[in-house]
């Protein structure tokens, strides 16, 4: 008895799981919108879903009705805006309306005696009041009547669903010599018989890239949607049936179907009750259970998804570059000033109360009493800081959206000179990287912290080895935006990185030339995370390994003037990337099928920089470097800037970090009075926050 009870419970549980999985995989009905009392057939939207168009068909009074949607693709917000009479001559029963890509042409399927596709020009995009009838294309050579028409993306292919007396189940395919121009040469390519699956076709449409075709038929012919897969885009001879979806529970007599531009919503026009029905799709562009496709290959939104994955991979790599470059700049600065004893290009003390720094303790223990340590340091330690701002862009490709990249950060460090050419030190960096993906409003925002240990190890007076070893943490906030949905996520990561640079210095008077060879390595692990929102994606852990070998040279010179010293410098490097591909694995939240995308990294890049040091006789120093980094399909421009001042014994400078604020403080003892000035800057905020304080005090 116990065994039978267990089996019944087990079977019941499995049944519930199957029912539930089917419920979340198939389209979900959202709402219906009544539009008027008439006979309706055609249905379409403009490009952004803020306008909807329906056909009211009658022999002598066929019109296109335009609706305005205050919320894109939300049919509950639709209000009738205007109508356009499309009756030309003879009997016209309009069954479909479509537009070209930019809304300057409109096509009407004439189901009546004309046996034609009427085409119209619009002087204002998607404004039907500006439509002028240009002509008609006859399909009488292939069909007695037609029900529906669709075009490929560039308008060079036209697909017509037949509705003749003996051919209600046929699809006809045509080529156009000029895209969307039915007055150009139009050639019939082939006819596909769907009689094995259909006895009638009311409507036909495609997904964004033509790899799926959808047909719909009304109540007289079982009220179902059929989904086909095409091995060759828009080639109906390569289609195969994937499955069907019954809409009879919602729609009494379905005529046409259309999708939102990202494939996350489906709409059906119902002739029997004059309604438009709205559905949500758990998998974009799929109306059947278990047929979710890789989201990267299913719509233009997929380009944003791939771009987001690429951006997270590239950002992890860029953070390492931004962490090591200031240290390399520091060691390069030290080489230019190695004859000096005072090597603090920033004569500052440090105060830390930054919560972001605490995350570094998860990677390696870091003392929370930095002040105490620094106060006990000998005079042999030198202190420095450097800020950087970087902007860049990666171009659009056939599979990935463009990316606009920006980065800013501040690095502070200290090092100790052991001999003329030998030293070691460490540096802390706080940074923020932003990537704007595509044009839909998607973005990634990454904050990072890193701790680097570095040193210079001379082989002799001319040959040197520089080394950097660092660890870091990063946190990324993501927003993936489509026309109808927002998907947000949070992702953490940890990094280990290193750099070895070998160079030789050739000197002639004050001019230096130093060829170099450098190897950079890094290992980053990004945590798994899950998006919020409908059609959300779940990502597994991702490992990013990078390797780069670079060779180039640096040059510098010294120009002495009466009150200052000017030291121009520059460099050029060519880098070869030998990083392995980084695999990103993801799935729909509603599905178990996983997809993996290999993210290749740029094979080579060129990095060039130019800058100068300016040192005045009263102790003020300025260091600036402009750097250009160019790879195969991307580039970035970075400006590094550092200020320094060597004060007298009665003055003190301090750089303080407090959460997202940095303050530079100046203290001076003037005849027993303490003068304190401070300036604040919210360098992590979207809007800069400036502030200044002045305090004068005395002790009695």
DSSP labels for 629-646? EEESSEEEEEEEEEEEE-
Backbone angles phi, psi at 80, to 5 degrees: -65, 130
pLDDT tens profile 116-170: 899 999 999 999 999 999 999 988 888 877 889 999 989 999 999 877 655 568 8
Backbone angles phi, psi at 7, to 5 degrees: -65, -40
Angle at 216 between CA 215 and CA 220, to 5 degrees: 140
Q: Can you give the C-alpha Rg of the chain in angstroms?
A: 34
Q: Is the pLDDT of residue 78 over 60?
A: yes
Which of 605, 608, 606, 615 has the alpha carbon at shortest distance from 570?
608
pLDDT tens profile 9-21: 544 444 434 333 4
111-115, 310-314, 398-402: which is most confident: 310-314
The confidence band for 367, taking pLDDT boundaries of 50, 70 and 90, is very low
Full-model pTM: 0.66
C-beta neighbour count of 454 within 10 angstroms = 22
Output the six-digit token pair for 271: 């002739």
Segments of 399-441 assigned E as strands: 403-417, 423-437
Which of 350, 411, 409, 219 has the alpha carbon at shortest distance from 658?
350
Cβ atoms of 696 and 677 closer than 8 Å = no
Helix (H) / strand (E) element for 387: namely strand 381-394
pLDDT tens profile 397-420: 878 888 988 888 888 888 888 877
Cβ atoms of 677 and 692 closer than 8 Å = yes
Predicted local confidence at residue 370, as pLDDT: 40
Give the Cα separation of 222 and 658 in Å (integer).
68
10 Å CB burial of residue 666 (0-12, 13-18, 19+) is middle
Cβ atoms of 187 and 173 closer than 8 Å = no
Which of 391, 383, 378 has the alpha carbon at shortest distance from 342?
383
Give the Cα separation of 481 and 479 in Å (integer).
6
Q: Is the pLDDT of residue 346 over 60?
A: no
The confidence band for 59, taking pLDDT boundaries of 50, 70 and 90, is low
Cβ atoms of 569 and 612 closer than 8 Å = yes
Q: Is the pLDDT of residue 114 over 70?
A: no
Q: Is the pLDDT of residue 686 over 90?
A: no
Please give the residue that has the higher pLDDT: either 413 or 4. Answer: 413
Give the Cα separation of 83 and 54 in Å (integer).
10
The confidence band for 654, taking pLDDT boundaries of 50, 70 and 90, is low
CA-to-CA separations, 531 to 176, 205, 437, 624, in angstroms, rounded: 42, 30, 16, 41
Output the six-digit token pair for 666: 């100046």
pLDDT tens profile 441-481: 899 999 999 999 999 888 887 888 999 999 999 999 999 98
Give the Cα separation of 198 and 221 in Å (integer).
8
Backbone angles phi, psi at 452, to 5 degrees: -120, 140
Q: Is the pLDDT of residue 371 over 60?
A: no
What length does the chain have?
700
Predicted local confidence at residue 119, as pLDDT: 94
pLDDT tens profile 158-202: 999 877 655 568 899 999 999 999 999 999 999 988 887 777 888
pLDDT tens profile 522-550: 999 999 999 997 678 999 999 999 999 99
Predicted local confidence at residue 473, as pLDDT: 96
C-beta neighbour count of 450 within 10 angstroms = 26
Q: Is the pLDDT of residue 92 over 70?
A: no
Q: State the average pLDDT over residues 78-94.
A: 79
Q: State the average pLDDT over residues 434-440.
A: 89
The residues facing 43 across adjacent strands are 54
Which of 162, 154, 488, 448 has the alpha carbon at shortest distance from 308?
488
Predicted local confidence at residue 646, as pLDDT: 53
Predicted local confidence at residue 112, as pLDDT: 65
Predicted local confidence at residue 10, as pLDDT: 44
Angle at 404 between CA 402 and CA 405, to 5 degrees: 130
Give the Cα separation of 287 and 206 in Å (integer).
12
Cβ-count burial 379-416 (b if 16+ within 10 Å, e if not): eeebbbbbbbebebbbeeeeebbbbebebbbbbbbbbe
Sheet strand arrangement including 78-85: 40-45, 51-56, 63-69, 78-85
Which of 362, 311, 284, 357 has the alpha carbon at shortest distance from 542?
311
Predicted local confidence at residue 352, as pLDDT: 36
Predicted local confidence at residue 105, as pLDDT: 96
Identify the residue whose tokens are 């030309």.
88
**Percentage of the chain lying above the pLDDT 90 cut:** 36
pLDDT tens profile 607-623: 899 988 887 776 667 77
Predicted local confidence at residue 344, as pLDDT: 54
Predicted local confidence at residue 295, as pLDDT: 81
Please give the residue that has the higher pLDDT: either 111 or 1. Answer: 111
Q: 236-250, 320-334, 655-669 — which is least confidently predicted?
A: 655-669
Predicted local confidence at residue 499, as pLDDT: 96
Give the Cα separation of 407 and 599 in Å (integer).
22
The confidence band for 368, taking pLDDT boundaries of 50, 70 and 90, is very low
Q: State the average pLDDT over residues 658-673.
A: 60
Predicted local confidence at residue 21, as pLDDT: 40
CA-to-CA separations, 20 to 288, 292, 591, in angstroms, rounded: 14, 16, 11
Local structure of residue 683 (DSSP, 8 states): T
Q: State the average pLDDT over residues 111-119.
A: 77
Predicted local confidence at residue 298, as pLDDT: 60
Identify the residue whose tokens are 């399927």.
109
Q: State the average pLDDT over residues 247-257.
A: 88
Average predicted confidence (pLDDT) for the chain: 80
Sheet strand arrangement including 28-34: 28-34, 275-280, 265-270, 254-259
Distant-in-sequence contacts of 223-228, Cβ < 8 A, 24+ apart = 223/247, 223/248, 223/251, 223/252, 223/253, 223/254, 224/248, 225/254, 225/257, 225/287, 226/197, 226/198, 227/286, 227/287, 227/288, 227/291
Q: State the average pLDDT over residues 353-364.
A: 40
CA-to-CA separations, 508 to 331, 534, 552, 554, 555, in angstroms, rounded: 20, 67, 19, 14, 11
The confidence band for 653, taking pLDDT boundaries of 50, 70 and 90, is low
Predicted local confidence at residue 19, as pLDDT: 39
Q: Is the pLDDT of residue 103 over 90?
A: yes
Predicted local confidence at residue 300, as pLDDT: 67
Q: State the average pLDDT over residues 205-219.
A: 87
Cα atoms found within 13 Å of the Cα of residue 309, Cβ hemisphere only: 30
Helix H, strand E, coil C: the string for 554-606 is: EEECCEECCCEEEEEEEEEEEEEECCCCEEEEEEECCCCCCEEEEECCCCEEE
Which of 434, 423, 414, 417 has the alpha carbon at shortest distance from 322?
434
C-alpha 108: how far from chain center: 37
The β-bridge relationship of strands 349-352 and 651-658 is parallel
Identify the residue whose tokens are 């989201």.
295
CA-to-CA separations, 689 to 369, 428, 600, 641, 659, in angstroms, rounded: 28, 23, 39, 20, 13
């Amino acid at each position: 008895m116990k065994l039978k009870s267990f089996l019944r419970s087990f079977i019941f549980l499995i049944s519930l799981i199957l029912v539930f999985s089917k419920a979340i995989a198939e389209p979900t009905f959202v709402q219906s919108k009544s539009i008027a009392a008439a006979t309706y057939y055609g249905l379409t939207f403009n490009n952004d879903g803020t306008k909807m168009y329906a056909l009211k068909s009658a022999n002598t009074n066929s019109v296109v009705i335009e609706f305005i949607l205050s919320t894109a693709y939300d049919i509950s917000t639709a209000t009738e805006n205007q109508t356009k009479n499309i009756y030309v001559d003879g009997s016209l029963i309009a069954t479909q309306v479509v537009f070209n890509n930019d809304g300057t042409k409109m096509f009407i399927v004439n189901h009546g005696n004309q046996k034609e596709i009427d085409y119209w020009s619009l002087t204002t995009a998607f404004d039907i009041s500006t439509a002028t009838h240009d002509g008609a294309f006859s399909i009488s050579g292939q069909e007695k009547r037609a029900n529906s028409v669709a075009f490929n993306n560039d308008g060079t292919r036209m697909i017509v669903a037949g509705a003749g007396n003996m051919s209600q189940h046929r699809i006809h395919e045509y080529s156009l010599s000029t895209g969307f121009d039915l007055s150009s040469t139009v050639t019939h390519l082939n006819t596909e018989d769907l009689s094995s699956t259909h006895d009638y076709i009311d409507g036909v449409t495609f997904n964004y890239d033509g790899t799926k075709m959808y047909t719909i038929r009304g109540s007289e012919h079982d009220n179902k949607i059929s989904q086909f897969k095409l091995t060759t885009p828009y080639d109906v001879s390569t289609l195969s049936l994937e499955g069907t979806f019954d809409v009879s529970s919602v729609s009494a007599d379905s005529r046409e179907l259309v999708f939102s531009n990202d494939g996350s919503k489906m709409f059906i026009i119902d002739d029997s009750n004059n309604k438009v029905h709205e559905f949500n799709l758990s998998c974009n562009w799929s109306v059947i259970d278990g047929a979710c496709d890789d989201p990267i290959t299913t719509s233009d939104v997929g380009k944003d998804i791939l771009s987001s994955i690429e951006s997270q991979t590239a950002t992890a790599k860029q953070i390492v570059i931004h962490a090591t470059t200031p240290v390399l700049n520091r060691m390069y600065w030290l080489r230019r000033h190695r004859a000096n004893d005072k090597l603090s290009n920033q004569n500052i003390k440090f105060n830390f109360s930054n919560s972001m720094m605490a995350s570094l303790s998860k990677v390696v223990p870091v003392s929370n009493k930095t002040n105490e340590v620094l106060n006990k340091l000998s005079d042999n330690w030198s202190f420095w800081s450097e800020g950087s701002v970087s902007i860049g862009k990666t171009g659009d490709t056939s599979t990935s959206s463009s990316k606009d990249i920006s980065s800013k950060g501040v690095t502070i460090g200290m090092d100790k000179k052991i001999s003329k050419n030998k030293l070691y030190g460490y540096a802390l960096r706080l940074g923020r990287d932003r990537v704007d993906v595509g044009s839909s409003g998607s973005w990634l925002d990454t904050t990072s912290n890193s701790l680097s240990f570095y040193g210079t190890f001379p082989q002799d007076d001319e040959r040197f080895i520089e080394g950097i070893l660092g660890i870091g943490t990063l946190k990324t906030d993501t927003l993936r935006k489509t026309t109808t949905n927002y998907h947000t996520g949070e992702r953490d990561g940890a990094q280990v990185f290193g750099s070895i640079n070998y160079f030789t210095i050739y000197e002639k008077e004050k001019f230096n030339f130093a060829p170099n060879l450098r190897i950079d390595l890094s290992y980053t692990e990004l945590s798994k995370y899950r998006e919020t929102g409908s059609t959300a994606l779940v990502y597994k852990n991702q490992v990013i390994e990078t390797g780069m070998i670079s060779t180039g040279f640096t040059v510098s010179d010294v120009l002495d003037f009466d009150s200052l010293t000017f030291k121009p410098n520059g460099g050029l490097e060519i880098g070869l990337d030998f990083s392995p591909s980084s695999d990103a694995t993801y799935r729909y939240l509603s599905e178990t099928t996983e997809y993996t995308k290999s993210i290749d990294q740029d094979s080579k890049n060129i990095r060039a920089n130019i800058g100068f040091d300016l040192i005045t006789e009263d102790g003020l120093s300025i260091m600036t470097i402009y750097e250009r980094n160019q790879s195969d399909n991307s580039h970035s421009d970075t400006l590094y800037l550092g200020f320094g001042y060597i004060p007298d014994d009665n003055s003190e400078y301090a750089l303080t970090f407090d959460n997202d604020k940095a303050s530079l403080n100046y203290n001076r003892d003037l005849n027993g009075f303490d003068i304190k000035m401070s300036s604040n800057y919210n360098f992590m905020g979207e809007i800069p926050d400036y502030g200044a304080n002045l305090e004068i005090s005395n002790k009695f």
